[in-house]
């Protein structure tokens, strides 16, 4: 869990479901914003169905707030999840957003 990433995500101005999804991902993220939680885990944390959570995450990807950096096809096996990057510069306008937190 990265407190630095969580602090930046709290400032996100998107809808509530998107903010909750980002906060859930921040729980899994390192200080660079890299995480690889399963969609089921995200859905459980934010109290949505898996398909609803997938829609929220895909919208964040389309918005540019998240990027897929590994396993672009998604979980082929249950142990293989996508790897995501939380794009801090898209949340704050600064590439070094987490540095000052």
pLDDT band (50, 70, 90) for residue 81: confident
pTM of this structure: 0.80
**Whether the Cβ atoms of residue 64 and residue 70 lie closer than 8 Å to each other:** no
Pairwise CA distance, residues 70 & 65, whole Å: 16
CB 75 within 8 A of CB 95: no
Residue range 67-76: mean pLDDT, rounded: 69
């Amino acid at each position: 869990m990265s407190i630095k990433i969580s602090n930046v995500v709290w400032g996100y101005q998107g809808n509530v479901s998107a903010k909750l999804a980002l906060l859930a991902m921040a729980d899994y993220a390192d200080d660079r914003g890299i995480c690889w939680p399963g969609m089921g885990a995200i859905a459980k944390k934010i109290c949505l169905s898996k398909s609803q959570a997938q829609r929220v995450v895909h919208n964040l990807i389309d918005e540019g707030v998240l990027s897929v950096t590994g396993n672009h096809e998604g979980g082929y096996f249950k142990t293989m999840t996508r790897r995501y990057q939380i794009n801090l510069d898209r949340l704050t306008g600064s590439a070094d957003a987490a540095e000052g937190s």
